[in-house]
Amino acid sequence: MKLSTEPYKGVRDFYPHDKQIQTYIFNMWREVVEQYGYVEYDASVLEPRELYEAKSGEDIVNHETYSFTDRGNRNVTLRPEMTPTVARMIAQRQREIVFPARWYSIPNLFRYERPQRGRLREHWQLNVDLFGDESLTADKEIISIGFNILTRFGVNPEQFEIRINDRRIVQSAFAELGLDEETSYALQKLIDKKDKISDFAEKAEALLGKPFEYNPEPNQEIVEIIKQLKKDGISNVYYDPTLMRGFDYYTGIVFEFFDKHPDNNRSLFGGGRYDNLLDIFESKRISAVGFGAGDVGIQHVLETYKLIPHLQRSTIGICALTIDDIPKTESLATEMRKNGCNVAINTSLKKPSTLLNWSEKSDNRFTLFIGETERMNSVITIRENIKKKSITLPESELISWLKKA
């Protein structure tokens, strides 16, 4: 039996064009967060399982992780999220790190989910986290970065909305209902899933023993942050007391960004404040706020609104027409590379139309042919693949022409 060429369920292969789109997304993420002074970190995909048992939440640990026992009997998990890892790293070097610390990363994460539009088993996620600043300004910065990322991609603020809540509102509303810790936790998880289940009201009533009424007013922090964001020109922020977020470590504001288009009904970004997560380590208290934004969702948004630009490579394809042209093709390519050009050679000696097809399909920006005329007269013909236009130059002017182009 021959093997299947399909990738493993729920993960993607990135053919060169797919990778080019992903790189475009990553570059935009980097550009925006670095403008706010965030520095990049990274870590291994492997973590001890206990890291997630502490405060991520039982759903993710028991149902969504890829976990295994290694040959030394250790429980290992492929990271399903980056927050526990970054908290571990900050806690480990807490004495050397100067605060406020602004860190970002673009890790691949693994979750054993039912693959569906917008949810896969491996995705890449921009993580932007600010440590050691408890102020509302920090919360505001984190939300503003998310807003700026979307608008820099060309998404119109009318096309998305930011829903915001505060875990403290939820806690005090549940306390007013007189719920014990266990029921509160179960209710929070139920509300988190309300859009995915059809019998939410019945389930809530069964849990509480009475119909569930829940309409808490926003607290001072929520009112203030919405007001301040509006002042900065960010007015698509809405208070939503049913926004829970799945992870147990959040302690203050929580938020999610949603595309309003019905095809993309899952959150694009999600985050919040988690001031106690570092307590799971031997650490002083370090406050933190941040978010994660996945590559799958953002790509769907860019496709939906036709916002992916034509991504051209800078490569120059240089083709020899006869066997006598190969040395010149190679030496010219070397010279061009020394001058900073990206050059791919083709010495297959196929017919010119085939060579041109190779150069165009490889997404090369220019095609150069080296034949007898070029060799004898020291001239070069450059074809711009997209415009399908050619120009002939003295060879001595080639490099300066390319530099200008």
Residues within the interface to ligand HAM (CB under 6 A): 81, 83, 111, 113, 119-120, 123, 125, 127, 129, 267-271, 290-294, 296-297
> Between 90 and 341, whose beta carbon lies closer to ligand HAM?
90
105 forms beta bridges with 127
Tell me if 319 sits within 8 A of 359, measured CB to CB.
yes
Task: Provide the minimum distance between the beta carbon of 10 and ligand HAM in the complex, in angstroms, as a whole number.
Answer: 8
Task: Provide the minimum distance between the beta carbon of 296 and ligand HAM in the complex, in angstroms, as a whole number.
Answer: 4
> Between 252 and 290, whose beta carbon lies closer to ligand HAM?
290
Tell me if 40 sits within 8 A of 101, measured CB to CB.
no
Comparing C-alpha atoms, which of 248, 306, 305, 320 is closest to residue 277?
248
Burial class (CB in 10 A: 0-12, 13-18, 19+), 362: middle
> Between 47 and 129, whose beta carbon lies closer to ligand HAM?
129
CA atoms within 13 A on the CB side of 205: 6
> Between 268 and 319, whose beta carbon lies closer to ligand HAM?
268
> Between 26 and 358, whose beta carbon lies closer to ligand HAM?
26
> Between 83 and 346, whose beta carbon lies closer to ligand HAM?
83
Task: Provide the minimum distance between the beta carbon of 114 and ligand HAM in the complex, in angstroms, as a whole number.
Answer: 10
> Between 42 and 205, whose beta carbon lies closer to ligand HAM?
42
Task: Provide the minimum distance between the beta carbon of 353 and ligand HAM in the complex, in angstroms, as a whole number.
Answer: 43
For 389, phi then psi, to 5°, come to -120, 145
Task: Provide the minimum distance between the beta carbon of 152 and ligand HAM in the complex, in angstroms, as a whole number.
Answer: 17
Q: Compute the distance between CA of residue 112 and CA of residue 108 in angstroms, rounded to an integer.
A: 13
Task: Provide the minimum distance between the beta carbon of 398 and ligand HAM in the complex, in angstroms, as a whole number.
Answer: 46
Task: Provide the minimum distance between the beta carbon of 305 and ligand HAM in the complex, in angstroms, as a whole number.
Answer: 16
Task: Provide the minimum distance between the beta carbon of 156 and ligand HAM in the complex, in angstroms, as a whole number.
Answer: 19
Q: Within the chain, what is the greatest distance between any pair of CA atoms?
A: 93
> Between 123 and 365, whose beta carbon lies closer to ligand HAM?
123
